[in-house]
Structure 1
């Protein structure tokens, strides 16, 4: 249906086509789901011990493991086995047609010796950058895999800075006693002087004309690598392994195609700086299923480059299926952004649970990014014990933790209208159905820009128990259907600021509220609330900041 609409109305304005697409999506029409091509390997098997590796936790096995991988690839491919043992290694480089299989009784531990990792041309948060070589990497490869039920450990504690606010007093004292250095106000611990120097520079390591790796040697320790990075690879499988303790992000597929993550356990300390689970960047045809995440930053994250670098790359993350996953601690359970400048589209998220995650569904961007995120379909999500928002759309992302720490004060957002340019981000065409939330600070928060509203959002069959209810700011064409809210401190239950074409059909407030809906701002209009049920409500509506009473139609 969508393709038919596009062909028939190809010459009409984009805004009109967007509206038609939203209508099609609302009635259950979706793009065709992708087919992800799978890997296949010859049965030939090599053991790293055949190349001199020793699993005694002492010997450095970098050369032996890489030699085994190279030999396997040159023979036409197969399986390279890491058997039982504790295998210390420096950077491992994958080759075509190789399955690196980490046995159940094996731990592949990467060295804490920074000299093992040379500075290489890489990527950091969506921009080209010099970074230390990734513990596991591959570029321009086909048919590769990491499998087995063993453990891959990035030894991230040797690399990461740690914020004092995220540790108990005893933990902090133990950490400081091990060495390292503190910043000026003694609020952050760094493992080395070079790491601290890098933190004091703006965008340390980012590639600029005329710079080389030599220009960044004095801050090398700060340029932490992501644990596993595959770049421009095709047909990838990561299955069954535990991948943990990364210096920065755990898994980072970049500009890849036909990627499957299955039954992977991804772990990091909850305080791990930049300790994301998986960041799928500018990839197409991706499947993430039956995985578990318990990490220090975002859990399952979609990205596509940052600002001009991402727009110039122009590669959206698209055709992604994410299903049957569990996320424990993370800044967000399923996340898009904030580096989404190349766009994201055609993504399905279903049958996932977020338990103790700071924010459940987290969609974030900011001015300067640009990029279009659209056609996101989410169904059957369970959330429990969410400290922040259960569902959040925010175009004012500010690179801070999503939940303020005790005593932390944050300034209010300055709201002003700017011209729409290629740097203006867009979120549109999201369908979210069948969400259960037991415990959150706020049920739903949508905040767009004055010049670019978040638009065409459809939420249906949503059941939320939270402190606060619903807040929409600078939103257009939002449909809420069959919503139940149990809130403890919300006043009002629904806050609408400068939002238009808002339809709420079938909303039940399970507990009495003082004020049902507050409409704010003179730009608010065409707000319709029907089939609402809120027993013992003291006041149904209120209008503030020049909002007109004609903006709201309310039918009980």
Structure 2
């Protein structure tokens, strides 16, 4: 990939913001020696019964000892336990090869790992590497993580027939009969607070006692350099599908990450504290976030101090997921210099999803998003939320959620920040809400430009505690028109060339005593039955119309 120079100059609240990514490092896919070994030569059998853990790992070790090359998984079904990738090895799956990880949990050792941004004990990941250089998983085959035996399930996410079949398979139910767990051990551990966290008071016996609960991610590549994932389908993970952690120079191309839509924590890819990454021409259809940027959680993430940076995401498709492109919520080490271009989200709960909460800390900045197409989004097309509460983005039937308590707290190292984000050329055909912005009173969502958009949604703009935010040349086609734009306790907001439904009940509601410096420009206010309204302490001089 050639070096790329991105230069943006945008005006926010009358101030020109020069946002520039200079000379993104070259992301070069690793190359490998032509030496090739077939796992069959090491005794592997593709009969769907034989456990091939030793044969596959022996093949990888042998080619590694020779200086590197290709380990071939031929056509067939190859049952195995955990596989360790080693330096200079390309694990290549031929067409119609299925690498099927065993459902026998005893084959997965308990190891010190990382879960949702903090050090935790986990079952060994099905595919893993630590401090390896020049590694790849390529080909046209399928890698299946046997995730069904690891996950809990919610009744609301199953049909009646599926639920009855699940109960008949074994496991236990919650007291309210609304959740299924693979075992009593899992159920009890799920009621503990961070049971897998590595703390001095916990013994090896304790972790063994909750082993069933400690689900692994399918592929974990820790502190590795020069990584290529290409062409392969990664599916049915116990938890996250792809998890590069503190790694660099990563190319992910033409992969398919596939998890059941109901899979708890079934993310597609989570880049955590990684740098110099290219993700392109890939498809995600999963149970949680699709393409997600992370960098550690709370104090542990801040101490690590490794942002995810210098990332290009382009020409990707996300189907079911909690979010199409996502940053957070574990972003305590920060995220910066990220370019997302030419992506499509279809049926994704939220399109562009930026989420965090108090306690995280970290700065998300210099994010550039261009040419995004969305269709049938159940939630928000674009969301910035600093009150993330670790819940599914779409409320389930009968579920009741209270709005967060709004209070101003002191700014500390645990106060997160979203700033300097540019979103251009978005088309959304169907969403519950076009744009949602919810900052903290002590730390607003800051310096965001959103322009050149056509957004069809039930509701338009809903903004609270934002500052230095611009919407330019945005067309809102909404069913809810009272109001089309709602701005609360926000300042230095520019609304330029906004178009909306003829005959809307109310164009703009400004509320809250802190609202001010709002400019409405180039917009036909007379198309609405009522142009503006000021409520909950907002004053008319908070708005200027040009």
TM range (shorter): over 0.9
Q: Is the 8 A contact 1:509 1:535 kept in 2?
A: no
Query: 1:344-387 CA distances to partner (integer Å, 9 max, x unpaired)?
Result: 00000000000000000000000000000000000000000000
1:179 aligned residue (167, 170, 174)? 170
Aligned-residue offset at 1:511: 4.0
| Unmatched segments (≥5 aa) in structure 2 | none
Aligned-residue offset at 1:510: 3.3
Q: Is the 8 A contact 2:13 2:493 kept in 1?
A: no
Aligned-residue offset at 1:537: 1.0
Q: Is the 8 A contact 2:232 2:254 kept in 1?
A: yes
Q: TM-score, normalised by structure 2?
A: 0.97
1:506 and 2:497 correspond? yes
Hey, what does 1:313 align to over in structure 2?
304
Q: Separation in 2 of the partners of 1:506 and 1:213?
A: 62
Q: 1:316 to 1:528 in 2, by over 3 A?
A: same
Aligned-residue offset at 1:31: 3.8
* Matched residue SS, 2:522: strand
Aligned-residue offset at 1:134: 0.2
Q: 1:33 to 1:100 in 2, by over 3 A?
A: same
1:23 and 2:38 correspond? no
Q: Separation in 2 of the partners of 1:301 and 1:537?
A: 39
Q: Is the 8 A contact 1:22 1:456 kept in 2?
A: no
Aligned-residue offset at 1:22: 6.2
1:45 and 2:40 correspond? no
Aligned-residue offset at 1:544: 0.7
Hey, what does 1:103 align to over in structure 2?
94
Paired residues, number = 538
Q: 1:322 to 1:3 in 2, by over 3 A?
A: closer
Aligned-residue offset at 1:201: 1.1
Aligned-residue offset at 1:533: 3.0
Q: Is the 8 A contact 2:525 2:531 kept in 1?
A: no
Hey, what does 1:358 align to over in structure 2?
349
Hey, what does 1:281 align to over in structure 2?
272
Q: Is the 8 A contact 2:13 2:492 kept in 1?
A: no
Q: 1:20 to 1:215 in 2, by over 3 A?
A: farther
Q: Separation in 2 of the partners of 1:47 and 1:543?
A: 72
Aligned-residue offset at 1:33: 2.9
Hey, what does 2:316 align to over in structure 1?
325
Q: Separation in 2 of the partners of 1:91 and 1:553?
A: 63
Q: 1:336 to 1:21 in 2, by over 3 A?
A: farther
Hey, what does 1:549 align to over in structure 2?
540
Q: Is the 8 A contact 2:481 2:507 kept in 1?
A: no
Hey, what does 1:12 align to over in structure 2?
none
1:443 and 2:429 correspond? no
Aligned-residue offset at 1:3: 13
Question: 1:285-304 to 2 correspondence within 5 Å?
Answer: 285-304=276-295
Aligned-residue offset at 1:535: 5.9
Question: 1:180-329 to 2 correspondence within 5 Å?
Answer: 180-329=171-320
Question: 1:39-188 to 2 correspondence within 5 Å?
Answer: 39-188=30-179
Q: Separation in 2 of the partners of 1:204 and 1:296?
A: 23
* Matched residue SS, 2:24: coil
2:449 aligned residue (458, 464, 484)? 458
Query: 1:219-247 CA distances to partner (integer Å, 9 max, x unpaired)?
Result: 10000000000000000000000000000
Q: Separation in 1 of the partners of 2:321 and 2:16?
A: 31
Aligned-residue offset at 1:216: 1.1
| Unmatched segments (≥5 aa) in structure 1 | 5-17
Query: 1:476-519 CA distances to partner (integer Å, 9 max, x unpaired)?
Result: 00011100010012321000010000001111003431010000
Q: 1:19 to 1:282 in 2, by over 3 A?
A: farther
Aligned-residue offset at 1:198: 1.3
* Matched residue SS, 2:79: strand
Hey, what does 1:8 align to over in structure 2?
none
* Matched residue SS, 1:23: strand
Hey, what does 2:336 align to over in structure 1?
345
Hey, what does 1:15 align to over in structure 2?
none
Aligned-residue offset at 1:37: 2.6
CA RMSD in angstroms, aligned pairs only: 1.6
Q: 1:243 to 1:257 in 2, by over 3 A?
A: same
Aligned-residue offset at 1:412: 1.5
Hey, what does 2:469 align to over in structure 1?
478
Q: Separation in 1 of the partners of 2:102 and 2:21?
A: 47
Q: Separation in 2 of the partners of 1:146 and 1:440?
A: 36
Q: Separation in 2 of the partners of 1:426 and 1:45?
A: 49
Q: Is the 8 A contact 1:190 1:196 kept in 2?
A: yes
